[in-house]
Amino acid sequence: MQLDNRSQLDDRPLSLVNVSNARQLGRLVEDLRDVAARGYNGETDADYAVLVNAVAGTVRDEEATLDKVFRLFPRVREIRAVDPGPLGGVARCGRGRDDQYYVTMCAWADQISVGTVTFLSFKERLGPPGNDFVEIRSELEFPIPGADPRPVITR
């Protein structure tokens, strides 16, 4: 599967981190129905990878769930609310640094899903990744018109 211009990432250590992150998100929803954990190559030389995690289930309190998401990633700071895009809910982005990468992570929570889009870069990103985040979320999760209000998570 491809995400925009990004091809799937072939990096075993990051893949293991990604699966672990998705499992943690799965604990934040009731009635877990679907899980996605994918890594993609960056679009530019500065971006090494984009990690995408999402779970579908029941979310009782979107704001509290988003608080819990960011508590799972204590190195991510400078957290600010961002536009969640047309799929609604609440969203925030933050930045941090680990031993190897600059990290920019955006997360969302709505009544039926929770997810993160994490950009790993060798250089610090300038400005928030708002449009990239919304586009990636829209490719990952989409509502089915007239159906049960459960997101379909593409894998």
CB 117 within 8 A of CB 125: no
Domain-by-domain residue ranges, the chain? 12-153
* pLDDT score at 4: 66
* pLDDT score at 1: 56
**pTM (predicted TM-score):** 0.85
* pLDDT score at 131: 80
DSSP reduced 3-state for 16? helix
Q: Return the minimum-mean-pLDDT range out of 9-13, 49-53, 86-90.
A: 9-13
| Beta strands 90-97; 152-153: pairing state | unpaired
> For the residues 11-40, what does the mean pLDDT come to?
91
DSSP 8-state code for residue 58: E
* pLDDT score at 147: 39
DSSP reduced 3-state for 139? helix
Share of the chain above pLDDT 70, in %: 83
- pLDDT bin (cut points 50, 70, 90) of residue 135 is confident
* pLDDT score at 10: 79
Strand order in 113-121's β-sheet? 30-41, 47-58, 113-121, 102-110, 90-97, 77-82
Q: Which residue bears the tokens 């640094």?
A: 97
55-84 tens-digit pLDDT: 999 999 999 999 999 999 999 999 999 999
